[in-house]
């Protein structure tokens, strides 16, 4: 865009230059999505700013500032912080079972934060850093791949133990995605997918807690359990389906207004949106999410450093997974695993996580020419 | 940390290339995922959209049930026998209240009186009731209480004051057995009337709804019930009403009115003349078969059952030896006694017995090793005389001549031993015995027991032995005798919702010689009008030329020989004879036939005939044509001075009640209306 590879020394370090390098189209798309989120939360509260819409928009404003601030941080600093951040996140995750605060039957909180959220970014950074120092041959198939498997596996197991199945799946798939992008050989990739698929059945039967198993299996036949777990899915499908082509209109969604739709402001906010804006609104919203993902992937691909590429792409995978899993969940295509719709669902933690992710993406764009150390053979 | 730039360009380029290719593939995956989602959206919102819209609407809207007004039950002249009155009540809808029911109830109790005990039982009821079922906190509120609670309902979650219909029986007991009553819906009722998908009918769960439990109310419950309406309301997920939508209300379809053939005046008079006595009276119009009166005494107040009769009172009713809860007109079986002699005579005439043949009565008749008694020494009698004086000895012997099978055949033709389709249940068939019946009835016993013994025939000749009838059957018998032509059937339900039911006169003719029936009718006229007649003292109508014909019956309730039974009106009430009187009037142009049973009343003549007379008088005086004959109008005074001031003297007043009948014994068979009768 405005800047080229040919710049005067130090020019790229200037704040004004950095600000122009920020991808404002991405910021705009994210803001539009968050604005729609605020709008639907206003409607879900019976056309009231409180208790959700106002906080949602204020939070987004703050998170946008965080994103912009993070985008100014040089990639080398991100690079240097990768392993310490991972170590910190892992430490906090280990603390959770010990001094964690439980909520709704699951221990997820420690010191007022969810370590699993930090881990979402930290895992991406750590993997990106690790692959940055790996040759393509090593990345394809070598004993060194046991290190990323460990980097992914340990937090995934810890998070699944909390239990927070949604986040665990998110971490696992994101990590695997980075391994693929890093150059995992097709043979290993295929066997991993096959092994993973084969492990699902015994995992579901023996490792999962009963409520998780019920949740997983109910989505297949929600009508069998109309007042329990199936109620969520059934009412969500009714909400979306009754929206029709054009929707019932802003503020007129009876399913959400009359509380038939559970968690209408959090995990099922997409259903609320679908009821009021119909197929047209839903496709439009998915196009906006797709646009954000496409821009982020484009940013990843123009980065000059492997670390930049993988870290930006990694967080984009996380973001895309949020959207896909949540949308599939509320439409009855996937189990109810408690994954919110990023930027739409009411809730601060995920908003911060997602905007930190996009801060990283923007930082990769702003610092796409930055020379990176090889990082080979050293953990720091 | 080394800051040297990476110089493995080949390596770097290869990694970059792999990344680009794979990022492209990943992007493709995301695209496929997005397309899947859009496909699913199209499936939900377009293909299945209409279905989900329906589901959403059924979530959003609910119908509060509006019970339909129950159809009225009217007498033949349109007088309400069962109707509805407004009932102001307070309902509690559990599903619409979040707050503690006890608090709400306590607040309600401050506004209207609800006793502590009642509050406790209400709380129990609320706790047990399904969420969708409203509970009535109070019924029959005064207007003051109603308005007081109505203005406060916004502060009382789940409480609503409304007006509903409550069943009322204006005549209390007079029609209780025929009409029956409505009462609270029982668990069995709900179970029986479940909708095809196994859900309870919501109408039945409404606290104001009552279901027919007896008589016409039960038999025609569906027609009387109507179809409920609905008040459309928008509800949230916990069922609380958010908004009412009057435009979407469905109006209730009221139940159909049922018109009975009964006449309220006759029925009321019947109950009145019974006083403390137990028994039944049935009257039919002998031209149409319409039942004008079907009364069972003593009766009970059907209104008590609507709100729920206290168990102590119910126990009193069911324990009373006069059995007020039983409809004796249909379910009470008694020996017909001497009223059955009409049938025996007819059977004899049909069998070719000469009516002039005489028997001599000296008070007893020995047959085999048994002596059959008569209550008098009647001397030598022909058939006419035997009916008039009700001589048993004559009929013992006549019955032996005719035989049980012939008698039974005639009895059945005249309607005994039958159950009629009158629209209400509860009839008992009774017994018209003959040889075939006995064989069948004692099928499990020895051949000896199955055989008809000749010694059983004399008893049958006087309406005793096995013979059992109810009051309706005897009234049908009297009607067919009075009609003389048609085998009339009784009709109780005149119309349902304006659609007339088939008449009881649309039937075949009786297969009997008209002269034979006429002979019996003439004898019945003498019973009531000849000085020698058993009912002469008791059956004078006092309506001038209008005379009644009848037959008395005094039937054993228990066998005298065993020591349990008491002849006549002596001894313990429950051991006395049952008194019958069947009648029709006017005897020269029959219009009304009647059977009266006085349970343990003693003699048919003294106990039953006077009641029959009073009931019959009401029917006759209500009949304008009969009344015209009775009243014999005075000639009008001249209104036109120019007109001929005629000198026709006013006729003497109509004859004095109780005066001896004029003319020869036996009925005047020509219709007196055809001639202008000066007296």
**Is B58's Cβ below 8 Å from some Cβ in A?**
no
Structure tokens given for A110: 């420690």
CA distance B253 to B375: 62
For an interface test with B, which of A232, A242, A283, A326 has the most B Cβ atoms less than 10 Å from its Cβ?
A242
Q: Would you say A160 and A168 are in contact if contact means Cβ atoms under 8 Å apart?
A: yes
DSSP 8-state class, residue B255: P
What is the C-alpha R_g of chain A? 21
B576 three-state secondary structure: strand
CA distance A136 to chain B (A): 6
Distance in Å, alpha carbon of A14 to nearest chain B alpha carbon: 21
Residue A135 lies in a domain: yes
Which segments within chain A are labelled E, that is strand? 101-103, 106-109
User: Between A146-161 and A165-182, two packed helices, what is the crossing angle to 10 degrees?
Assistant: 170
Domain count, chain A: 1
Select the residue of B6, B38, B44 nearest A286 (Cβ to Cβ). Answer: B38
Contacts of A375 in chain B (CB under 8 A): 1-2
- Helix, strand, coil shares of chain A, percent, nearest 5, are 70, 5, 25
Q: Are A205 and A239 in contact (CB under 8 A)?
A: no
- The Cα-based distances of B245 to A47, A255, B232, B234, B354 in angstroms read 21, 18, 5, 7, 83
Instruction: Say yes or no to pLDDT of A227 above 60.
Output: no
What are the φ and ψ backbone dihedral angles of B43, each rounded to 5 degrees? Answer: -60, -50
Look at A309 and B19 and tell me if their CB atoms are within 8 Å: yes
What is the SS3 assignment for B137-205?
EECCCCHHHHHHHHHHHHHCCCEEEEEEEEEECCCCCCCHHHHCCEEECCHHHHHHCCCCCCCCCHHHH
Mark residue B158 as left, alpha or beta (left: phi above 0; alpha: psi -120 to 50; beta: remaining): left
Pairwise pLDDT comparison (B635 vs A267), residue with the higher score? A267
Q: Do A259 and B236 touch (CB under 8 A)?
A: yes
Whether A264 contacts A341, CB under 8 Å: no
pLDDT at A4 over 50: yes
What is chain B's alpha carbon radius of gyration, rounded to the nearest angstrom? Answer: 38
**Hey, how many other C-beta atoms are within 10 angstroms of the C-beta on A98?**
8
Q: Find all residues with CB under 8 Å of B665, minimum gap 6, and list them.
A: B526, B529, B530
CA dihedral A64, A65, A68, A71 (to 10 degrees): -100
Taking the C-alpha atoms of residue B164 and residue B143, their distance in angstroms, rounded to an integer, is: 13
- CA–CA gap between residue B178 and residue B304 (Å, rounded): 16
Alpha-carbon gap, residue A116 to A109, rounded angstroms: 9
**pLDDT value at position B630?**
85
Q: Among A61, A294, A322, which residue's Cα sits nearest to residue A166? A: A322
A115-152 burial by CB neighbour count: b if 16+ within 10 A, else e?
bbbbbbbbbbbbbbbbbbbbbbeebbeeeebeebeebb
Q: Are A326 and A44 in contact (CB under 8 A)?
A: no
Q: In chain A, count of helices (H) and strands (E)?
A: 15, 2
Closest listed residue to residue A269, CA positions, set A46, A35, A34, A37: A37
For residue A243, the enclosing domain spans 20-366
CA A212 vs. chain centroid, Å, equals: 21
Q: Which residue, among B10, B22, B23, would best test binding to A if mutated, counting the most A CBs under 10 Å from its CB?
A: B23
- Domain assignment present for A379: no
Instruction: Compute the distance between CA of residue B543 and CA of residue B533 in angstroms, rounded to an integer.
Output: 19
Percent of the residues in chain A that have a pLDDT greater than 70, as a whole number = 92
- Find out whether B172 and B301 touch, Cβ atoms under 8 Å: yes
Residue A14 placed within a domain? no
- From residue B146, alpha-carbon distances to B91, B154, B163, B247 in Å are 12, 14, 9, 26
Cβ density class B636-667: b for 16+ within 10 Å, e for less: eeeeeeeeeeeeeeeeeebeeeeeebeeebbb
CB contact under 8 A, A241 and B3: no
**Cβ contact, residue pair A254, B2, below 8 Å:** no
> Measured between CB atoms, which of B20, B49, B52 is closest to A301?
B20
Given this model, what pLDDT does residue B98 score? 66
Structure token digits, residue A93: 């995750």
CB contact under 8 A, A324 and B34: yes
Nearest 5 degrees, angle CA A52-CA B37-CA B47?
A: 100
Structure tokens at B614: 């009073």
Specify the residue for token string 């005298």: B560
Q: Would an 8 Å CB–CB cutoff place B36 in contact with chain A? A: yes
Q: Kindly list the averaged pLDDT for each block of 10 residues, start to end, along chain B of length 679.
A: 48 80 91 93 91 85 83 93 89 76 84 84 82 80 85 81 87 89 88 78 83 91 88 75 77 91 93 91 93 92 87 89 90 92 94 91 88 88 92 93 93 92 90 91 88 90 92 94 91 91 86 92 92 88 89 84 64 86 92 94 88 93 89 67 51 46 43 41
Positive or negative, the CA dihedral B476, B479, B481, B485 is: negative
| DSSP structure string for B323-338 | -TTS-HHHH--B--GG
Instruction: Identify the pLDDT of residue B234.
Output: 81
Please, are residues B168 and B91 in contact by the beta-carbon 8 Å criterion?
no
Size of interface A-B (CB pairs under 8 A): 160
Tokens representing A211? 């409520």
CB contact under 8 A, B27 and A283: no
Contact B11 A135 (CB under 8 A): yes
pLDDT (0 to 100) of residue B269: 93
Task: Give just the sign of the alpha carbon dihedral A222, A225, A226, A232.
Answer: negative
Mutate to test the interface with A, among B20, B21, B45 (most CBs of A within 10 A): B45
Of all residues in chain B, the one with the smallest CA distance to A246 is B45
| Residue A360 covered by a domain | yes
The pair of structure tokens assigned to B679 is 């007296």
Cα–Cα–Cα angle for B39, B44, B50, nearest 5°? 140
What pLDDT, on a 0 to 100 scale, did the predictor assign at position A125?
A: 95
Query: How far is the first Cα of chain A from the last one, in angstroms, to the nearest whole number?
Result: 34
Residues of chain B in contact with residue A238, where contact means CB-CB under 8 angstroms, are: 52, 55-56, 59
Which residue of chain B comes nearest to A312, CA vs CA? Answer: B23
Amino acid B349: pLDDT: 94
Strands B229-235 and B61-66: antiparallel
Which residues of chain A have a CB within 8 Å of the CB of B46? Answer: 244-245, 279
Answer whether B235 touches A (CB < 8 Å).
yes
Domain contains A4 = no
Say if A376 falls within a structural domain: no
Say yes or no to pLDDT of A207 above 90. no
DSSP letters of A147-177? HHHHHHHHHHHHHHHTT-HHHHHHHHHHHHH
Q: Beta strand B258-260 with B73-74: parallel, antiparallel or unpaired? A: parallel
Asked if the Cβ–Cβ distance from B45 to A245 is below 8 Å, we say: yes
Can you read off the two tokens belonging to residue B347?
Answer: 């059977």
Residue A6 lies in a domain: no
B56 touching chain A per CB within 8 A: yes
Contact criterion met (CB below 8 Å) for B586 and B620: yes
Q: Cβ distance B81 to B179 under 8 Å?
A: yes
3-class DSSP assignment, residue B553? strand
User: Residue B7's pLDDT is what?
Assistant: 47
Using an 8 Å CB-CB cutoff, list chain A residues near B5: 371-372
3-state secondary structure B257-272: CEEECCCHHHHHHHHH
Q: Which residues contact A132 (CB under 8 A, 6 or more apart)?
A: A79, A305, A306, A307, A310, A372, A374, A375
Structure tokens at B538: 């008791």
B16 CB near a chain A CB, below 8 Å? yes
Shortest Cα–Cα distance, B193 to chain A (Å): 25
Q: State the greatest distance between any 2 C-alpha atoms of chain B, in Å, as a whole number.
A: 155
Q: Judge contact between B562 and B592, C-beta under 8 A.
A: no
Query: Is A377 part of any domain?
Result: no
Q: A261: closest CA among A249, A250, A273?
A: A273
Residues of A in contact with B36 (CB under 8 A): 328, 333
Chain A CA closest to residue B31:
A290
- Give A230 to chain B, closest Cα distance, Å: 15
Average pLDDT over residues A265-284: 93
Chain A residue with the nearest C-alpha to that of B21: A181
């Amino acid at each position: 865009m405005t800047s080229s590879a040919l710049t005067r020394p130090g020019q790229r370090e200037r704040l004004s230059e950095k600000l122009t390098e920020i991808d404002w189209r991405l910021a705009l798309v994210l803001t539009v999505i968050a604005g729609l989120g605020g709008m639907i939360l206003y409607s879900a509260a019976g056309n009231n700013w409180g208790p959700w819409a106002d906080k949602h928009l204020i939070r987004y404003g703050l998170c946008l500032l965080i994103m912009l601030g993070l985008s100014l941080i040089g990639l080398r600093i991100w690079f240097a912080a990768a392993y310490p951040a991972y170590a910190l996140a892992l430490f906090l995750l280990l603390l959770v079972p010990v001094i964690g605060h439980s909520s709704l039957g699951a221990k997820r909180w420690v010191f007022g934060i969810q370590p699993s959220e930090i881990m979402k970014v930290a895992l991406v950074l750590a993997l990106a850093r690790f692959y940055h120092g790996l040759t393509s041959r090593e990345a394809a198939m070598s004993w060194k791949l046991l290190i990323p498997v460990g980097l992914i596996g340990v937090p995934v197991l810890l998070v699944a133990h909390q239990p927070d199945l949604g986040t665990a799946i998110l971490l696992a798939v994101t990590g695997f995605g980075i391994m693929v992008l890093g150059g995992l050989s097709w043979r290993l990739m295929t066997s991993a997918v096959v092994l993973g698929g084969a492990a699902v059945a015994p995992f579901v039967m023996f490792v999962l807690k009963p409520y998780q198993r019920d949740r997983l299996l109910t989505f297949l036949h929600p009508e069998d359990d109309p007042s329990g777990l199936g109620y969520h899915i059934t009412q969500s499908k009714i909400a979306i389906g009754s929206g029709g082509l054009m929707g019932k209109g802003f503020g007129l969604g009876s399913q959400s207004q009359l509380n038939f739709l559970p968690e209408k402001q959090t995990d099922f906010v997409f259903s609320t949106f679908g009821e009021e804006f119909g197929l047209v609104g839903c496709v439009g919203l998915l196009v906006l999410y797709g646009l954000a993902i496409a821009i982020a992937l484009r940013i990843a691909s123009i980065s000059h450093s492997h670390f930049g590429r993988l870290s930006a792409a990694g967080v984009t995978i996380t973001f895309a997974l949020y959207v896909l899993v949540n949308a599939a969940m509320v439409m009855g295509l996937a189990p109810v695993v408690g994954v919110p719709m990023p930027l739409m669902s009411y809730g601060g933690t995920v908003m911060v996580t997602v905007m930190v992710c996009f801060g990283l993406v923007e930082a990769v764009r702003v610092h796409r020419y930055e020379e990176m150390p090889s990082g080979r053979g050293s953990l720091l | 940390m080394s800051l040297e730039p990476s110089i493995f360009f080949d390596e770097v380029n290869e990694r970059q290339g792999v990344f680009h290719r794979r990022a492209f593939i990943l992007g493709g995956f995301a695209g496929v995922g997005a397309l899947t989602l859009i496909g699913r959206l199209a499936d939900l919102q377009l293909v299945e959209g209409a279905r989900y819209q329906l589901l959403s609407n059924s979530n959003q809207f609910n119908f509060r049930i509006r019970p339909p007004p129950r159809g009225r039950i009217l007498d033949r002249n349109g007088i309400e026998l069962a109707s509805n009155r407004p009932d102001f009540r307070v309902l509690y809808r559990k599903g619409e209240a979040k707050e503690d029911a006890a608090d709400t109830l306590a607040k309600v109790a401050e506004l209207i009186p609800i006793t502590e005990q009642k509050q406790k039982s209400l709380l129990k009821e609320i706790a047990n009731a399904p969420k969708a079922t409203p509970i009535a906190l109070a019924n029959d509120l005064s207007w003051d209480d109603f308005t007081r609670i109505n203005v406060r309902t916004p502060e009382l979650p789940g409480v609503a004051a409304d007006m509903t219909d409550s069943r009322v029986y204006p005549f209390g007991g007079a029609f209780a057995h025929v009409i029956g009553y409505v009462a609270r819906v029982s668990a069995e009722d709900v179970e029986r009337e479940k909708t095809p998908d196994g859900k309870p009918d919501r109408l039945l769960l409404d606290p104001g709804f009552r279901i027919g439990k007896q008589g016409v109310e039960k038999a025609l419950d569906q027609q009387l019930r109507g179809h409920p309406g609905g008040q459309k309301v928008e509800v949230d997920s916990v069922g609380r009403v958010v908004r009412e939508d009057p435009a979407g209300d469905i109006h209730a379809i009221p139940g159909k009115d049922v018109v009975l053939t009964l006449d309220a005046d006759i029925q009321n008079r019947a109950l009145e003349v019974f006083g403390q006595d137990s028994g039944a009276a049935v009257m039919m119009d002998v031209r149409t078969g319409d039942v004008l009166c079907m009364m069972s005494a003593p009766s009970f107040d059907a209104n008590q059952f609507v709100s729920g009769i206290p168990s102590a009172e119910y126990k009193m009713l069911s324990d009373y030896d006069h059995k007020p809860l039983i409809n004796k007109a249909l379910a009470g079986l008694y020996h017909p006694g001497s009223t059955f002699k009409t049938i025996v005579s007819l059977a004899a005439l049909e069998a070719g017995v000469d009516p002039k043949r005489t028997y001599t009565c000296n008070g007893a008749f020995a047959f085999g090793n048994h002596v059959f008694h008569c209550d008098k020494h009647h001397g030598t009698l022909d058939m006419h005389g035997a009916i008039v004086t009700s001589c048993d000895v004559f009929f013992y012997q006549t019955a032996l001549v005719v035989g049980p099978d012939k008698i039974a055949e005639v009895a059945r033709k005249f309607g005994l031993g039958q159950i009629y389709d009158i629209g209400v249940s509860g009839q008992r068939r009774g017994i018209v015995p003959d040889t075939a019946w006995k064989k069948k009835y004692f099928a499990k016993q020895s051949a000896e027991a199955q055989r008809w013994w000749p010694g059983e025939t004399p008893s049958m000749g006087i309406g005793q032995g096995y013979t059992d009838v109810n009051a309706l059957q005897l009234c049908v018998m009297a009607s067919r005798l009075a009609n003389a032509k048609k085998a009339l059937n009784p009709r109780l339900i005149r119309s349902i919702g304006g659609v007339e039911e088939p008449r009881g006169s649309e039937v075949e003719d009786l297969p009997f010689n008209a002269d034979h029936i006429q002979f019996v009718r003439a004898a019945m006229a003498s019973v009531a009008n000849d000085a020698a007649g058993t009912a002469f003292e008791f059956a004078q109508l006092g309506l001038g030329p209008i005379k009644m014909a009848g037959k008395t019956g005094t039937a054993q309730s228990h066998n005298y020989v065993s020591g349990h039974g008491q002849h006549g009106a002596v001894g313990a009430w429950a051991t006395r004879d049952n008194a019958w009187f069947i009648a029709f009037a006017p005897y020269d142009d029959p219009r009304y036939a009647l059977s009266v049973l006085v349970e343990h009343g003693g003699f048919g003549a003294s106990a039953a005939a006077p009641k029959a007379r009073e009931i019959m008088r009401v029917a006759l005086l209500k009949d304008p044509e009969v009344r015209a004959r009775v009243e014999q109008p005075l000639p009008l005074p001249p209104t036109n001075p120019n007109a001929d001031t005629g000198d026709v003297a006013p006729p003497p007043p109509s004859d004095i009640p109780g005066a001896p009948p004029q003319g020869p014994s036996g009925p005047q068979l020509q219709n007196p209306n055809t001639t202008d009768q000066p007296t």
